[in-house]
């Protein structure tokens, strides 16, 4: 058997063949494996690419239109970019919602509005208000009627709570989206859902405080929470649409009043005890 040739010189992607007339040099194509992760990597953890900016037509265009087409509206993968957040993102956005006077929430979430936080905030609020509303009624019944055990859990509070909060966060931003679109204001629907969803977080701790069987304290807590939530919503809407529409004041005032009305409705239905 013939000996092996010595490989030397510059190695540039090809391996010299052994000496001999019948041997052919093998050529290897350049590889990108030395670059890790690949430059076109997508996702929050592996690359710098982020979900598409939620501008005027973002929600109307599925995340992968070439793959799903119009069927993307009914495919959960189309909405994957709007759940591309981690715990730190959600915690930061919740913290921003508790400081309403900055008015920069829309700008901070413009490149990555999410529906994950709003969904869980609304879901948590549904069960918290229903459970604590019944607990508040139980405490009031126990203190007002000594020895009377005729008290029943009102399961209807769960369904009413679901209709109230899911309907408010789902339908009101949808109506506002069409109003702004009619006025020529470029606003994303998912961005509005994100703003409205996080604006309700303050009502979760408010529900716990509303269990205290002191009516004046309940009204003070709910009024403060509704005022902060409405201010957070109004200031962010004003910042976003003030320069784009001359009717911004009416829109902002309308959203402010509706947010106050939500807090009032929550207090009257879930944490006001009516004695028979």
pLDDT, tens digit, 9 for 90 and up, residues 213-267: 888 999 999 999 999 999 999 999 998 888 777 788 899 999 999 999 999 999 9
Does residue 65 form part of some domain? no
pLDDT, tens digit, 9 for 90 and up, residues 89-131: 999 999 999 998 888 898 888 888 999 999 999 999 999 999 9
Does residue 73 form part of some domain? no
Contact 252, 122 (CB under 8 A): no
Structure token digits, residue 182:
């009619």
User: Which residue range forms the structural domain that includes residue 107?
Assistant: 93-270
How many beta carbons lie within 10 A of that of residue 235, not counting itself?
19
Structure token digits, residue 94:
């919740």
Q: What are phi and psi of 183, to 5 degrees?
A: -85, 0
Extended beta strands in the chain, E state: 14-15, 26-27
Which residues face 15 on adjacent strands? Answer: 26
Domains in the chain, number: 1
Cα separation, 162 vs 127, in Å, equals 8
Contacts 24+ apart (CB under 8 A), 177-180: 179/251, 180/241, 180/245, 180/251
Does residue 97 form part of some domain? yes
- For residue 68, pLDDT over 80 is answered with no
Does residue 2 form part of some domain? no
pLDDT, tens digit, 9 for 90 and up, residues 230-239: 999 999 999 8
């Amino acid at each position: 058997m013939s000996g092996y040739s010595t490989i030397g010189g510059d190695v540039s992607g090809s391996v010299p063949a052994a000496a001999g007339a019948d041997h052919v040099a093998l050529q290897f194509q350049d590889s990108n494996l030395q670059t890790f992760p690949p430059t076109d990597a997508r996702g929050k953890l592996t690359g710098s690419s982020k979900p598409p900016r939620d501008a005027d037509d973002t929600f109307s265009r599925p995340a992968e239109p070439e793959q799903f087409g119009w069927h993307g509206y009914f495919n959960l993968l189309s909405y994957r970019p709007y759940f591309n957040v981690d715990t730190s993102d959600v915690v930061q956005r919740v913290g921003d919602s508790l400081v309403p006077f900055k008015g920069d929430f829309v700008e901070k979430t413009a490149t990555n509005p999410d529906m994950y936080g709003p969904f869980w905030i609304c879901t948590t609020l549904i069960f918290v208000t229903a459970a604590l509303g019944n607990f508040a009624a139980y405490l009031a019944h126990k203190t007002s009627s000594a020895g009377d055990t005729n008290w029943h859990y009102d399961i209807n509070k769960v369904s009413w709570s679901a209709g109230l909060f899911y309907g408010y966060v789902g339908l009101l931003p949808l109506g506002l989206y069409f109003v702004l679109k009619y006025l020529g204001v470029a606003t994303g629907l998912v961005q509005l859902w994100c703003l409205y969803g996080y604006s309700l977080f303050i009502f979760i701790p408010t529900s716990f405080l509303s269990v205290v069987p002191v009516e004046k304290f309940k009204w003070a807590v709910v009024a403060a929470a509704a005022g902060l939530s409405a201010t957070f919503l109004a200031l962010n809407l004003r910042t976003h649409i003030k320069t784009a529409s001359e009717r911004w004041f009416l829109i902002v005032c309308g959203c402010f009043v509706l947010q106050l009305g939500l807090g009032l409705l929550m207090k009257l239905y879930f944490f006001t005890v009516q004695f028979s």
